[in-house]
Structure formats: structure tokens, C-alpha cells
Amino acid sequence: MIDWNTTTAFETASAVAKGEVSAREVAEAALRRIEALEPRISALLTVTADRALETADAIDARRSAGEALPPLAGVPVAVKANMAVRGVETNCASKILKGWKPPYTATVPGLLEDAGAVFVGTANMDEFAMGSSTENSAYQVTHNPWDTERVPGGSSGGSAAAVAAGEALMATGSDTGGSIRQPASYCGVVGMKPTYGRISRFGLVAFASSLDQIGPITRDVRDAALMMNVIARHDPRDSTSADIPAPDYLSALTGDVRGLRIGRPAEFFVEGIQPEVRNAIDAAFAKYEELGAQVVDVSLPYVKYAMPAYYIIAPCEASSNLARYDGVRYGHRTGDDLDMIQMFMRTRREGFGPEVKRRIMIGTYALSSGYYDAWYRKAQQVRTLIRRDFDRVFEQCDVLLTPTAPATAFRIGEKVDDQFQMYLEDVCTIPVNLAGLPGLSVPCGSAEGMPVGMQLIGRHFEEDVLLKAGHAFEQATEWGRRLAPIAREVSE
């Protein structure tokens, strides 16, 4: 039997492979925990119990037949509800895709299942990944397991909450402006957004095509490396997928960061940062120096324009990506009897929530005739300037260390009425997506009982360096592998 409060995906997979526990036992335990915890956190939109047990049984049969098991065999995984899984409702937490069961499976869930992962359910999210709190879900609000009156962050809030509460041992998230890292930080778990192009986007329902990337949300850094080993590969079905071989990320976890140059970028330490967050990050810098790393102060002057650039570019791409939801081929169609144009208009009115509509309209405006140069083109030029800032800084250091978010998780309902306040949640994470760089959030502190996360930013395709740095910190401190107290309340 495994101890849910202390185990990891890596350890569970190992136990299953050795026959110390059956995949079925693990799956049943996960489903029991889900049943106990869901009423309190509502992290999952669909629980795929039958599929989980079938998969688990198949793994156990393979093991009995003497086969060697693949690396994730028996590990319960939650999949964010914007990644197509054949036959499973993939609704992106939107009414407009209510009931949609894709006739195909996205590349990443496919790789995970081939690796033996046991899907326990689809994770709640902000509608079409637009949001920073998961409050924009059209179906339910997810509660932060550390304090159920607070948000889990977003848009991958369901994924982070599921891992933090121990409903699953791993989850997939997607990150366009911080949607993996920020909820990981709020829920005290590890979350990584890989380099743009490192992970296939085929089957990931697009929000902003030049920014979206899938990544792991896990209990510790080694588990993130484990998932990266499974999903980081070239996909010929995705033109933006990099044809660059991935290293073995597990072997990067040497614990040795001597000589690592860690940049401290001034512009990320904004005025409004919560003092405890500031303190935790300062302590992290000190810890790294203890471990033999070298801290370098650097500056990225254009980073302060990352927010406005992002909130033009992402809505522009989204306005185009979401135009296909017209009620003709799948999902919701208005029940009213109307002509073609009106049918489209009312279907989309009924199917989309207000934040999605706002972003579609901003994007439509910024791309429209007469405004394209001043808004979209301008934002893409600023993006180049931000990228150049990072390129320059990475000549002086190997990774950057920043807060993941300016504060810890806020209360549910606290920011829904002020869009721009909500947008400021992502001020530390957005620049990373604009530059296409990899970013890793690792728990590094606590403020009034709520987790604090730190963000490591690396050069393109140097996820191994990030994982090494994050793992070394985790090994040297007490912040890793802490489950939310609620998780311990589940009796086995």
C-alpha cells in the first residue's frame, strides 16, 4: 500500500512496476479520495472512473504476463479539460462545448496513456483558459485545498487543486500567460511551462496559438521531470513542434548547482508584492548562494510592457481561434429558429461567458482594419523587444529567479469585478510566454498558511537546467511535497 500523503508519481510507478501494489488498488484509492474531496474543492468536471479502472486492470494484466511496464504505469493523472480525449467530454469549462466528445485524442494525453497513466478525470479550468482564478468556469468554482474560501489560481486551477489535495498524483495543465505556474504557486505544487514548441499542441484547444504550451503539474520536481520525459518530443502533426531531441530530464537532477548564475531581474520585483512573498524569494536567493550558486542583478527594461503586449496579442489570436464555435458542427446551438447570421450570434451569446466575450472583442478590435498597425503589430514589435531583453540577460546568467505571483491566493469573488486587477496576477509569468522561454514554479514559502511559489526562468530548451535548479532547492529546504492539510483528512 502507498501512503498518499507522502508518495509521488515516481514512487508509485516504481511500486506498481515491482508489484508492491496493484494498479487497481492505486486507482481505487484515487477514486475514493476524489469522492471524499470533490464536495469540498470541485477540482474535476468529469470523473472517468470506468476508464481509470479499465486502464488499471490492463496494466495489472500486463504485469502478470511478465511484461515490463512503461514509466507511468498505474499513476493517477488528471487531464485539463481543454485537451482532447476521444470519447470523453472535453468542454474547456465552456457551455459552448457542452457535451462535445472528440473523435480523436490529443498527442499529450495519448503519450501519457501509452506510458501507462490512469486518467481519473478532466480538470476544471477558466473557460477556454482565459482567467487567473478558475472562477470563469461555466460549470463550477474550484476551491483552493489550502483554504477553500480562496481561489486555486487559474486557468489550470482544477489541475493544481487535484494534485494539492491528492486526488491525482500528476496533472496536465496549459499555460498561455501563467496558467500552469500561478495555480501551482497558489496550491503549493510544482508546475512547469516548457519552452514554446517543446510539447505538442495537437489536440490542445487553442487559446493563443503563439503562446499556449502544455506542461506538468506535480507534487515535486522529480515528478515533473518524469512527465517531461514522456511528453517532450517532436510531433509532425504540429508545425510549431520543435524537431530537437529532448534529454533525459531525470538524469539532470544531480542536486549540484555550484557555479550556476542566477539572475535577479529588478523589474519583476514590483511595488505591490506581498511582503511575505518578497521575503520568501529573498530567502530563496540566499539558499541558492549557500548551495554554491552565484546571484547576478540584471535588468529587463521592456518587461514592464509585457502586460499590455500580452493583453493585445492573446485576445487577437483567441478571437480568431474561437470563431469556429458557431453551432454548426458540434457543441451548443441556440434552440431559437433563426437565419444563418442570427443563429451564429445567438449561439455564441448563449455559449460564451463574459470574460471570453471581452477578450474576443478586444482581439477583434485590435485586428480590425485601421487598428491593426497601432495595436496588434505594435504589440508584436514590443514582444521582439522583450525577447531581446531576455536574450541579452541570458548572456550574464543561466536562469532567472522571480516570484511566480505578486501575492498568495486571494478570496473567491475578490477580483471578479475588476478585470485589470485580475490581469495583474500574471505580471511575473506573462513575459516568459511572450519570449517563448521555459518557466518552472516551485513552492518556496508560506504566508498566513497559504503557499508561496518562486519562478525559475531558463533559456530556450534548457528545461533540464530549470529542473536541476528546482530540484536542488527542494532537496535543501522543507518546501517540497507538502500536501494541503485537507488531503490528510481523507482516511484510507
Span 4-33, contacts to another protein by CB under 8 A = none
Nearest CB to another protein, comparing residues 135 and 326: 326
Q: Is residue 421 part of the contact set for another protein (CB under 8 A)? A: no
Q: Is residue 385 part of the contact set for another protein (CB under 8 A)? A: yes
Residues 274, 254: Cα–Cα separation, whole Å: 33
Nearest to 401 by CA among 451, 454, 346, 350: 454
From candidates 5, 64, 251, 384, binder to another protein by CB under 8 A = 384
Catalytic residue status for 200: no
What is the b/e burial string over 179-203, where b = at least 16 CB atoms within 10 angstroms of the residue's CB? bbbbbbbbbbbbbbbbbbbbbbbbb
Spot the catalytic one: 22, 42, 133, 155: 155
DSSP 13-39: HHHHHHTSS-HHHHHHHHHHHHHHHHH
* Subset of residues 67 to 86 that bind another protein, contact rule: CB under 8 A: 82-84
Three cell numbers written together for 244: 530537437
Segment interacting with another protein (CB under 8 A) among 27-35, 110-118, 348-356, 395-403: 348-356
Segment interacting with another protein (CB under 8 A) among 27-35, 160-168, 223-231, 417-425: 417-425
For residue 281, the tally of other CB atoms under 10 A from its CB is 24
Q: How, if at all, do strands 76-80 and 118-123 pair?
A: parallel
* Subset of residues 427 to 446 that bind another protein, contact rule: CB under 8 A: 436
For residue 287, the tally of other CB atoms under 10 A from its CB is 16
Nearest CB to another protein, comparing residues 124 and 319: 319
Nearest CB to another protein, comparing residues 1 and 338: 338
Catalytic residue status for 155: yes
Q: Is residue 238 part of the contact set for another protein (CB under 8 A)? A: yes
Q: Is residue 139 part of the contact set for another protein (CB under 8 A)? A: no
From candidates 32, 261, 278, 378, binder to another protein by CB under 8 A = 378
Q: Is residue 475 part of the contact set for another protein (CB under 8 A)? A: no
Nearest to 445 by CA among 454, 437, 436: 454
* Subset of residues 86 to 125 that bind another protein, contact rule: CB under 8 A: 90, 92, 97, 99-104, 106
Q: Is residue 204 part of the contact set for another protein (CB under 8 A)? A: yes
Residues sharing a CB contact under 8 Å with residue 402, sequence separation 6 or more, in sequence order:
265, 268, 269, 281, 428, 454, 455, 457
Catalytic residue status for 80: yes
Q: Is 145 left (phi over 0), alpha (psi -120 to 50) or beta?
A: alpha
**Considering the complex, what minimum distance in angstroms separates the CB of residue 454 from another protein?**
25
Q: In angstroms, what CA-CA distances link 481 with 85, 278, 429, 435? A: 29, 22, 23, 30
Q: Is residue 362 part of the contact set for another protein (CB under 8 A)? A: yes
Please list the active-site residues: 80, 155, 179
